Structure formats: C-alpha cells, structure tokens
Amino acid sequence: MEEEDCPFALPKSWLWMKLPDLCTIPITDGTHKTPTYSDKENGVPFLSSKDVTSGKIDWTKIKYITKDLHTELYKRLSPQKNDILLAKNGTTGVAALVEDDTIFDIYVTLAVLRPNCNFVNPRYLLSIINSQFCKNQFNDHLTGIGVPNLHLVDINKTIIPLPPASEQKRIVEELDALFKQLDKIVLNLV
C-alpha cells in the first residue's frame, strides 16, 4: 500500500495489506436464493449470520437445506477448514473460524474469506477482523435502515496490519493465554 493510505506507522517488519490480498479466493458471500429447508436427518447444515454472532460458529440452532440444493450451492462455494465466515447483515463485522471439516453451505448474510496460509495465520486474521480496528472500518461502510448491511465491495477495502509469521504465531498464542485466563475468571464468578 502507498504510505499516504496507511492509517499509522507499523514496526519495520510489518506490512499494511488489503484483505483480499491475504485470501486465496475472491471474498464472496453465500447464496442469494431463498433456500428450500429440510430436517436435520435429511438435510445439510446451512449457516447464516445469526450463527456466528458470538465470534464462533454456533451449531445448536442452525437450519438445514435439501441435499439437492446443497449440491447446487457447493459447486459455487464450498466452505472449508480455516475459512473465516464474516457476518455482513444484522450483527455485522463479527467473524468466526471454520475449525473442522464439517460440510455446510451459507446464506448471503455471510461472506467467506479463505486465508492464504503461506502469508497469514488464519487465527491471527480472525483476531484482527474481530478487532475494534476492523470493526471501525466496517462501521464506516454500513448501509441500511434497521438491519445493517456490509457489502462485499466494502469488505474488500479493509486494510490489515500484517506482521511476520513468527510474530503472528506469538500474537495468537498470547491471545489464547489471555482468553484462558478470562475463562477462569468467568467460571469463578458463577
């Protein structure tokens, strides 16, 4: 990025990067079609923004779509482990990491970011996307009355501070340790 486009100086070994440049596929969203729903036993999991509002995927209240619709949708976009799901409608700007190989499809209310693991640690990227720094960028682009909406074109404008791989790893490990301490504190309050 050009120096005048950078919001502040970074350490010498860090770079400012546009979010799409850290992904291996274009940032895209789920189907815009109204889905044909099914039951759990005969269907395929179908996620929307309501399923990532906690910063993790909540599989407890998901809906299911027919296998025929899944086959059609999966040809276009097949979410996979280490993808980041970003809520773009309703509770916007909240992201969750796909942590396993569960097969599922997504609705238009979610965007998929597929981190290029050669350059960025998916968990580091998730942490930055869920940071106030990125939330401020997203909030500057929200549209809609009542239900906020974040468009793909605006997600693609997001800039990310990128440290070297060793620093990304250290940041992720430090955040993990802090969240474990926080979990212990919360458990003691109950």
Number of structural domains, the chain? Answer: 1
Q: pLDDT value at position 96?
A: 98
Rounded alpha-carbon distances, angstroms, from residue 20 to 31, 41, 122, 146 = 20, 37, 14, 28
Residue 39 lies in a domain: yes
List, for residues 87-109, the tens digit of each pLDDT value.
Answer: 999 888 899 999 999 999 999 99
Q: pLDDT value at position 90?
A: 83
| Residue 183 binned pLDDT confidence (cut-offs 50, 70, 90) | confident
Cα 61-62-67 angle, rounded to 5 deg? 150
Residue 145 has pLDDT above 90, yes or no: no
Q: Please state the rounded mean pLDDT for residues 106-128.
A: 97
**Proportion of the chain above pLDDT 70, given as a percent:** 100
Residue 167 lies in a domain: no
Task: Return d(Cα 87, Cα 58) in angstroms, integer.
Answer: 13
Residue 125 lies in a domain: yes
Q: pLDDT value at position 45?
A: 98
Q: Are strands 110-113 and 28-29 parallel, antiparallel or unpaired?
A: antiparallel
Residue 181 lies in a domain: no
Q: What does the DSSP assignment read for the chain?
A: --GGG-SS---TT-EEEEGGGGBSS--EE-B-SPP-EE-TTTSEEEE-GGGSTTSS---TT-EEE-HHHHHHHHHH----TT-EEEE-BSSTT-EEE--S----EEBTTEEEE-B-TTT--HHHHHHHHTSHHHHHHHHTT-B-SSS-B--HHHHTT-EEEE--HHHHHHHHHHHHHHHHHHHHHHHHH-
Residue 24 lies in a domain: yes
Residue 3 has pLDDT above 80, yes or no: no
Residue 112 lies in a domain: yes
Q: Please state the rounded mean pLDDT for residues 148-155.
A: 92
| Residue 168 binned pLDDT confidence (cut-offs 50, 70, 90) | very high
Residue 68 is part of a domain; what is its CATH number?
3.90.220.20
Residue 5 has pLDDT above 90, yes or no: no
List, for residues 11-23, the tens digit of each pLDDT value.
Answer: 999 999 999 999 9
Residue 26 lies in a domain: yes
Residue 5 lies in a domain: no
Domain span including residue 149: 15-162
Residue 146 has pLDDT above 90, yes or no: no
> Which region among 3-17, 71-85, 111-125, 137-151 has the lowest average model confidence (pLDDT)?
137-151
Q: pLDDT value at position 190?
A: 75
